[in-house]
Amino acid sequence: MPLKLSNTYLSLGRAFSQQSLPTPVRKPELLLWNEPLAKQLAIEVDAQQENEQLALYFSGNELVEGSQPVAQAYSGHQFGQFNPQLGDGRAHLLGDITDTKGKQWDIQLKGSGVSAFSRQGDGRCALGPALREFIMSEAMHALGVPTTRCLAVVATGEAVYREQPLPGAVVTRVAASHIRVGTFQYFSARRDTASLIQLTRYAIERHFPDILPEKPAQNITQDNKPDERELSAKQVVDFVSAVLNKQLTLVLSWLRVGFIHGVMNTDNTAISGETIDYGPCAMMNHYHGDTVFSSIDRRGRYAFGKQAGIMQWNMARFAECLIPVIEKCLVDEGAELTDSDDEHSEAIALLEPLLVQFSEQFKVGYLAMMAKKIGIAIPQESDVTLINDLLELMQRDGRDYTGTFTSLNNNLTAQNVNELLHKKDTADESADTDDWLSWTARWYARIGDDIAGAKVLMGKSNPLVIPRNHHVERVLKTTQESGNLTALQQFLAVLRQPYVNLVETVNYQDAPADGDINYHTFCGT
């Protein structure tokens, strides 16, 4: 089995993580293995022949060659309240691996036992949340949303005690990295500028290497030491800008497919711009900007329509952490920081425009994204009203978000356009009281003659199927009660091709009969 890991994060030093071994489990059994992801990571194994060894590796009972497990340290704002001491309380970073394209990925076990950051928790994960993360992350990947992914789910043969005994599992998460906004907050809260600089340099090298000049001969992959090149203030500002752009793309992707994260704490905001932590997430059914499903989000802080604003808030917290780094760079570059009533004014002057720009870029990006959902490639300012009017009608009438856009695409035909526009031209306008008919006529007129192009654009922007909450819950219930993975595998086969109308697609397109009115999601801890 050609599987070998390194751990460049460990090389940052003791301040960044605690070396910690996973806690062995009683009876590891491989339940799910992500073969396409394994091939991408150049892990060539026959899961059928080697599943026992895979179960040992990805339960934590045995270490992969080169693995030096650590629990990462971080802080975080949780529902707006800052907690200076969080960290991996039930996860172990086994190390990193390089894929077939030379990109570096973290391999992390979740539910693998206690660490120094466990805060009296048991360090374990129940089977249901592990399967949920596998389903949701694979669905999001197929939908074109930046996301962490799951390589494996291993049953532990042990019970996890929450409100009742539940079967336990360990899930293997693959991520571009597990560096979070909360990682920067951890060192910022401790006024540890030296570690902030070290973390910033490592994060740039890992995620945005183009920001740095050409590397020296000895580099991090050869001697396993962090990059020692000096940072400039401009490079740090460019880093913040790059992270903001990643988050912008992420939130727009969520809004495009109707995803509600449910727990957008800063410790769940990865600087790589990947979706991370699928605990209380859900998909929107009936369109409403205030839609919330998370049982712990009692005030709707992370509602569907608030996600862009929260991400901007999280990015402001991220930028704050880099103020001392920028100031140190400015001083090293010979700048004399002025005495001012506004503390850190020079650094703030460099960062503040980026946060303002985030808001403006979101408006532009949101218009472009929503315009594509209704078949408009190059939006105009007037399309804002057209889009907002559609969303108001959907919210007023409780229309299904995914189903509405699918229906619009299906009904966009030359015959329908000609008939409706002709009717609109000849009818008495005062007699037209159908708001939907009126909106559709405006939309048809906006599409014009490029019906074929509009349909192609809509087909790429609007999935035919999403991991609807009631189907996710049904599959999880069936799998846990029967121990049979057939229903889950059938579901995954459709979710992995969300823009293709398979024979089985129709089985998962229906909206819930109760409109998800009583549906709630829960954190897995």
Q: Say if residue 134 is in the same domain as residue 247.
A: no
237 and 147 part of one domain:
no
Residues 122 and 59 in one domain: yes
> What confidence tier does 460 reach under pLDDT thresholds 50, 70, 90?
very high
Contacts of 280 (CB under 8 A, 6+ apart): 262, 263, 293, 294, 295, 296, 297, 521, 522, 523
Instruction: Please indicate, yes or no, whether residues 24 and 146 belong to a single structural domain of this protein.
Output: yes
C-alpha of 51 from chain center: 29
Same domain, 164 and 295: no
Asked if residue 123 is part of any domain, the answer here is: yes
Say which residues have a Cβ less than 8 Å from residue 122's Cβ, sequence separation at least 6.
90, 114, 160, 161
Q: Is residue 380 part of a domain?
A: no
Of 309, 337, 371, which residue sits at a domain end?
A: 371
* 86 within a domain of the structure (yes/no): yes
Q: In this structure, which amino acid lies at residue 467?
A: P
For position 45, what pLDDT does the model report?
Answer: 79
Give Cα separations from 246 to 261, 268, 493 (angstroms).
16, 14, 28
264 and 152 in a common domain: no
What confidence category does residue 342 fall into, taking pLDDT thresholds of 50, 70 and 90? low
**Does residue 190 lie within any of the structural domains?**
no
Asked, for residue 193, whether it belongs to a domain, the answer is no
Give the model's pLDDT for residue 524. Answer: 63
Residues 283 and 172 in one domain: no
Which 3 state secondary structure label does DSSP give 12? helix
Q: Which residues are catalytic?
A: 267
With beta carbons less than 8 A apart as the criterion, state whether 152 and 38 touch: no
For residue 235, what are the domain limits? Answer: 231-371
Residues annotated in a binding site: 87, 89-90, 110, 122-123, 173, 180, 268, 277
Which of 178, 198, 223 is the last residue before a domain boundary?
178
In the predicted model, is pLDDT for residue 159 greater than 70? yes
Q: 480 and 344, same structural domain?
A: no
Q: Tell me the average pLDDT across 31-45.
A: 92
Instruction: Find the DSSP H helices in 302-382.
Output: 307-321, 323-332, 345-373
Question: What is the average pLDDT value for the chain, to the nearest integer?
Answer: 92
Residue 104 DSSP SS3:
strand
Asked if 17 and 164 sit in the same domain, the reply is yes
Instruction: Tell me if 212 sits within 8 A of 239, measured CB to CB.
Output: no
Q: Which amino acid is at 82?
A: F
State the Cα–Cα distance between residues 68 and 61, nearest whole angstrom. 13
E strand or H helix at 290, and its extent? none
Digit-coded pLDDT (tens) for 168-204: 999 999 999 999 999 999 999 999 999 999 999 999 9
Sign of CA dihedral 470, 471, 472, 477: positive
DSSP 3-state of 22: coil
**Quick check: is 443 in a domain?**
no
Cβ contacts of 329 within 8 Å, gap of 6 or more = 231, 232, 233, 235, 236
Size (the chain), residues: 525
% of the chain with per-residue pLDDT over 70: 93
Let me know whether 169 and 255 are in one domain. Answer: no
Q: Is the residue at 479 inside a domain? A: yes
Last residue of a domain, one of 115, 144, 178: 178
Residues 159, 294, single domain; the answer is no
Q: Give the chain's domain count.
A: 3
Q: Which amino acids are annotated as binding site for Mg(2+), given as ranges? A: 268, 277
- Let me know whether 111 and 242 are in one domain: no
Residue 200 counted as domain residue:
no
